[in-house]
Structure 1
């Protein structure tokens, strides 16, 4: 409170005439830095309190020779002519006039520099652990169908611990046709995957010891090779198609990126780098940015669009809904207001005359960025010089529109954004034919949405709405039937008469719908009752409660998108998915709702897409000739085979100038080896149940451990397990050691590592072809004490139990390093 009822604090403190407002620059960094230089030259002190201290310091050092200080705090008055950038945020800046001799002190904030009003700063911290996409295949329950690379389709029957020769090990138990049962050692867990067929029909179980699985795999492999040839041809055409090679970043590009009000995540920065690298190549880009809702995909697109404009090109941003087009239009305009960039939108929110005027300007090159729905694909839309198309949520477009986009991909750069990758996109990414950047790191302040799935409950609805209203927030209510939406409105008015409700749906007049969205966005209503038009991209930070009526009407990906409308700030968000009583739900609807309730972690989009595949089958992404093979061996194994065939084809035939597509932010598809290495060592190797009680979590970790491919991965896994669960029991150390042996054995070309009568046998198929006595002498010179024997089939290592563990790794490492030498002996 101000003393004596004075009008303002300045007058109360006797500072009238000394304090004044600072000049504003609206995001134009070069004029701001020039102004700072002039102030310093006049003897003034300049303090800038900003969330972008690192960026501004770097820009100052690039453009100015004068010294600068970057600090977290200021503990003493600054010297004259000093320039200081302080990490932080203030409401606004000011200018303090000094005495007759002293210079003035200027304090600038993000409000003056960028036009932001006290943004929420984001801090860098240790990245949150993202769940690996492949782990969705490891979330097995007893009774689920699985595929073993070597033995075929079976049914998972849980995990069982067995003691053999006084050594305790844990196995995955798989039931096959008849009464056959397979016990899979946990170090081979990576050879199992959940079965996903071409449809939702249950598969036929294979029988152990029968040749039919080998024949099925051979047929599938032949089909895979044909498919790989077709995919490589498509890829080669794209790699050789002429395109525009964009220039390197301009100073304006750096300024535009520096005006981003948050600190980017590492995934986001990598996606930006990869997108720019693609744009600078002389052939058309086709990159997918896959990241959860609110993870910063739009910023990646905005930087790509600005880069295109800097080269004199036009940009088209294609979105699935009119509402999203309007929102992107406002976002792009606000973000690029400091630059001479003309942004327009074409949608039914504009009159026919307005649309025609915009199209004329687009044709004449007076519009740099055009944002719209599929209307942009119309025959009357022409560009003066189109350089980049950004497609937001491609799966929402129809077949005809997708075919149009497919043709454009061979002519201009295309950047596609998606939160839940459609199956075909997933398929293309896993086979390594499409370039994908994964953004898996959530924003620092983001918290998961608390999700409730259950039968309709009026009491819970009232409680949810009032809680949101009490904290000053707003509520989305989704009912996907226009014919009955007014009945739902009446019902909500009875349940929560205190709430102000407005209705919005796609059949409304465009101007009226725009007005509804504007009024709701301005906070004039508490509840927006809408159809699924709010599904994609809508961003209203004050709306943090979602209520979906008849959630059983929606697909899994749709529900996931709807949940993404809330929880886009640091506020805790809530999502309620109501359905009729359980006895009126179909089995498929129940499975979808159960999955939504299960996957509530940040970054679950990829898992949702995989689970959607499991529920519906892979028929949507397969050609007729592929369907039978996928039904026989499962989508995961088919895709792995295809990825391996594509990888081999590229190594043999791809032109050297073509860049291999990559999936970043996630593990690459692993090659399929024809046979796994047999490891039989007298070591306890399992995850104790008193260390990790939940079976599903143990299974996930088993599969991750089984898939480790490098020593560095094993070291990282050891650190992670210690960090999450505490000191490692001996059985866990034994399991990790077995993986280390497996990795070393693969590098050495071994097929088996067996303990027999106090010696270790390393089975090596190439020993028949080498001079074994010379190899034995070579190995014994490296081993202390020397105790290695080489036979026609194995390298035999004799050592006391307390030292053979180290010696075994040493021998395998030496064999791997000298395989070519050994082959020539």
Structure 2
């Protein structure tokens, strides 16, 4: 998304023109501006001034949101986030190397090194990122060196030099900041490079160099030289990122007083951690301080040419520039009012810009009222007065500028903003999906059976080096599988957590196991074929096309749907539109969006006057689904109930009566829903979550229901027979393999139990308004542990939950 044409509209503000003139004369000042408009103003200044800019703000979430929004306005890859380290100084946790690499990329950009699009960088940093010391500027720049074809140098000298500036030696170069050697070939992956570099030596002379793909290890293109700088491992030192700003750069301070308070709080917490470690003798008294306090950062900030953004502070110096931005009007749940207001604004000659992930749907709704606006992803020219611009994209808030320019986003239109994370990672090839198999895991080879994965090794086959998976079988046998045949190996998935018996190579054990499984599958297949033969001729209900409310529900989803999610939704709707009863399995990992597909299907059924039943294996899961369904359908006249042990007998009886008379639209519950006293007036859709966790009698009851009602099954871990029959086409299946858009990986830190670490982790999560789950393995002592945690973090609100609690206590 590029909105350069809309950026130019700010020039119509007299206050902005005065601000721009002052900045060009290098005069400091303060800008009074609405929070939602800050990214717009920063992007406009970045475009006009053509200077290196650095924005500093108090909280990490503010910095990330600012970077995403300014990038959306500019459409430039040079808008960079300077991330904060994973831990405060002196914390006992293992940090993520990715953060160090990203910090190194920002330092390189400010120092004029590495790749770019020719523009000066715009860097955004939070207080935790700002206080951490980095490699001094002079040491950083002197560590850069050029490697070129024809250079005379021993390979080991290059390796030593790279090791000195933070590169780690690995068998294979796959991630930035690593290097490797295989004879006369050196591989190195600079943090600033998009691809690693392979250097071929002829003796001690560099014969050729080329980029290669880190996943496939294939060559991509020949190069003659490359600049190599420090890696993430070399970031320790006494330098400050502010020292990297060129003399002509401008510093933008977002809410200066909040920034100062955040820095002082971080310093106090780090000082407390240091005192604790000094008391335990874990550090020496004269250890260098790895962070800056405000007494050091304040003068550094004041020494730079700077601009302060504030929505409430008086100017500390220079001119106060008040920009005429006001909050946008909200139209949540009032789409007809929005359409009418749109027509009114256009007649009045105002400019209206709608930025939405649902731009296509908005275009269709507007077209029904003869207001034509085609969605675009780029706005190059200034929109004329009396125009409507519909942009496909994401912004986190709208505003009105000068009373003549109105920006509305998904926040004002639907009440939600589609959540996403920007990522520089390229999609991995399919074979990389197997990297979650770790040494020690049990795996299954399609021809040789169950084994234990021992790792990956490098071997030569006919003098050609290659990578092989090592599989250990019973009796100490080993099998080496070329990585090209990795598709023949899958993770072992058993019905319980017990360790499986491994097969022996060269014996018929695995063949006999496969034969028994095949016979069992054939029996199940015959049963299912009989069931599906009945379904083929059974009368079903053909659901109607989507309603306007259906479109509003789907538009209000606060995340970006993945392609697999959209495909599954399309397949479900197609099945529901047919007269034959649906029986579809939605297969996907936890958090991949199965529930949203189920919610949309349930709402579609309710819109046709049908009742929906969601069957789950546990009471807690029923309560979770009830909360999710209630939140998503809160703005619609849909009655949702949950039938479980959390409900009193009187409440259960009222729900059962509601199911019988049709007043309950959606009912969520456990196997209680399958009992004889539960009768439905007109059930049209049955949704089953994790069917394999129900008992035999329950499944027999479900077989009868399947003959006449649409059934949608959700599963993250389907039983092998269900999956196998689905693949044979007897049962329809939709797979959701794509994780949510650039979902961040889970970070795991391993450390000795330390109350100070626990307190620090809890406070860190509370600072970002998050929640913490402390998992304990004994019900008998859980209350004692809870008391310790409460004493450790008295500022936290604490609750205890376990499986032996009474219904009322657990529900509360």
TM-score (norm 2): 0.51
CA-CA distance at 1:448 after TM superposition: 1.3
Match 1:76 to one of 375, 382, 385: 382
Q: Which residue of 2 aligns with 1:487?
A: 784
1:57 corresponds to: 363
Counterpart for residue 313 of structure 1 = 610
Q: Residues 160 and 383 from structure 1, CA distance in 2 versus in 1: closer, same or farther, beyond 3 angstroms?
A: same
Secondary structure at the aligned position of 2:412 is classed as helix
- Aligned counterparts of 1:177 and 1:90: Cα–Cα separation in 2: 57
Structure 1 position 143, deviation (Å): 12
Q: Aligned Cα RMSD in Å? A: 5.0
Contact kept in structure 1, 2:592 and 2:739, CA below 8 Å: yes
Structure 1 match to 2:415? 115
1:329 is matched with 626
- State the Cα distance separating 1:268 from its structure 2 match: 0.7
CA deviations on 1:721-779 (whole Å, 9 max, x unpaired) are: xxxxxxxxxxxxxxxxxxxxxxxxxxxxxxxxxxxxxxxxxxxxxxxxxxxxxxxxxxx
Q: For 1:418-476, what per-residue CA distance to the aligned partner results, in whole angstroms no more than 9, with x for missing partners?
A: 33435554454455544332222222252111235687555543443343234443211
**Contact 1:271–1:438 (CA under 8 A) maintained in structure 2:** yes
Candidates 294, 299, 320, aligned match of 2:596 = 299
SS in 2 for 1:304: helix
Measure how far apart 1:269 and its partner are.
0.5
Task: Tell me the distance in 2 between the aligned counterparts of 1:125 and 1:64.
Answer: 41
Cα distance change, pair 231–60 in 1 and its aligned pair in 2 (3 A): same
Look up the match of 1:46.
Answer: 352
Tell me which of 428, 438, 446 is aligned to 1:129.
428
Q: Is the 8 A contact 1:73 1:86 kept in 2?
A: no
Shift of the 154–19 alpha-carbon distance from structure 1 to 2, 3 Å rule, reads closer
User: For 2:781, what is the secondary structure of its paired residue?
Assistant: helix
1:256 CA drift (Å): 2.6
Shift of 1:351: 4.6
Aligned partner of residue 748 in structure 2, secondary structure = strand
Shift in alpha-carbon separation, 1:169–1:122, aligned structure 2, 3 A: closer
Residues 473 and 502, structure 2, Cα contact 8 Å, conserved in 1: no
What is the alpha-carbon distance in structure 2 between the residues aligned to residue 197 and residue 113 of structure 1?
47
Partner of 1:280: 577
Using the TM superposition, give the Cα deviation of residue 336 of structure 1 relative to its aligned residue in structure 2, in angstroms. 2.9
Residue 71 and residue 324 in structure 1: after superposition, are their counterparts in 2 closer, same or farther (change >3 A)?
Answer: same
Give the SS at the match of 2:560. coil
1:707-729 superposed Cα distances (whole Å, 9 cap, x missing partner): xxxxxxxxxxxxxxxxxxxxxxx
* Distance in 2, Cα, partners of 1:223 & 1:331: 38
Is residue 26–residue 338 contact of structure 1 (8 Å, CA) maintained in 2?
A: no
Q: Write the distance in 2 (CA, Å) between the matches of 1:298 and 1:274.
A: 15
Is the CA contact (8 Å cut-off) linking 2:397 and 2:412 kept in structure 1? no
Q: Decide which of 744, 750, 761 is 1:464's aligned counterpart.
A: 761
Q: Which residue of 1 aligns with 2:504?
A: 205
CA–CA separation in structure 2 for the residues paired with 1:185 and 1:324: 42
User: What are the equivalent positions in structure 2 for 1:138-149 lying under 5 Å apart?
Assistant: 139=437, 149=447
Match of 1:448 in 2: 745
Give deviations 1:348-393, integer Å, cap 9, x for gaps.
Answer: 5555444433433332222322233433333333222111122334
CA-CA distance at 1:134 after TM superposition: 8.4
* Alignment partner, residue 380 of structure 1: 677
Match in the other structure for 1:246 = 543
SS state at 2:668 partner: strand
State the distance in 1 between where 2:547 and 2:751 align. Answer: 53
SS at match of 2:659: helix
Aligned to 2:290: none
Could you tell me how far 1:216 is from its partner in structure 2? 8.3
The offset of 1:246, in angstroms, is 2.0
Q: Find the residue that maps to 1:362 and give its secondary structure.
A: helix
Is 2:716 the counterpart of 1:419? yes
Map Cα deviations across residues 616-654 of structure 1 (whole Å, 9 max, x no partner): xxxxxxxxxxxxxxxxxxxxxxxxxxxxxxxxxxxxxxx
SS of 2:587 mapped into structure 1 = strand
Q: Aligned pair 1:392/2:698, yes or no?
A: no
C-alpha separation between the residues in 2 aligned to 1:445 and 1:176? Answer: 37
Partner of 2:289: none
- The question of 1:268 aligning with 2:568 is answered no
Query: 1:27 matched to which residue of 2?
Result: 333
Cα contact 1:47–1:86 (8 A) shared by 2:
no
- In 1, the alpha carbon distance for the partners of 2:624 and 2:473 equals 54
- Residue 514 of structure 1 and its aligned partner are, at CA, apart by 3.9
Larger RCO of the pair (alpha carbons < 8 Å, separation 6+): 1
CA distance change for structure 1 residues 2 and 431 in 2, over 3 Å: closer, same or farther?
Answer: same
Contact 2:643-2:669 within 8 A present in 1 as well: yes
Secondary structure, aligned partner of 1:46: strand
Alpha-carbon distance in structure 2 between the residues aligned to 1:410 and 1:244: 12
Contact 1:46–1:83 at 8 Å: present in 2 too?
A: yes
Cα distance, 1:502 vs structure 2: 1.8
Which residue of structure 2 lines up, in the alignment, with residue 642 of structure 1?
none
Structure 2 counterpart SS, 1:476: coil
Provide the residue aligned with 1:91 in structure 2.
Answer: 397
Greater helix proportion: 1
Is the 8 Å Cα contact of residues 93 and 109 (structure 1) preserved in structure 2? no
CA distance in 2, matches of 1:220, 1:374: 29
Structure 1 residue 266 displacement after superposition: 0.5
Secondary structure of the 1:442 match is coil
CA deviation profile, 1:133-190 (whole Å, cap 9, x unmatched) = 9848x958699786563x88899998785665x8888888889999999888887776
Q: 2:800 aligned with 1:503, yes or no? A: yes
Q: Distance in 2 between matches of 1:122 and 1:174?
A: 37
CA separation in 1, counterparts of 2:361 and 2:739?
22
Give 2:175's aligned residue. none
TM-score (norm 1): 0.50
Q: Does 1:36 align with 2:333?
A: no
Tell me what 2:666 maps to: 369
Name the counterpart of 1:742.
none
**Shift in alpha-carbon separation, 1:366–1:25, aligned structure 2, 3 A:** farther
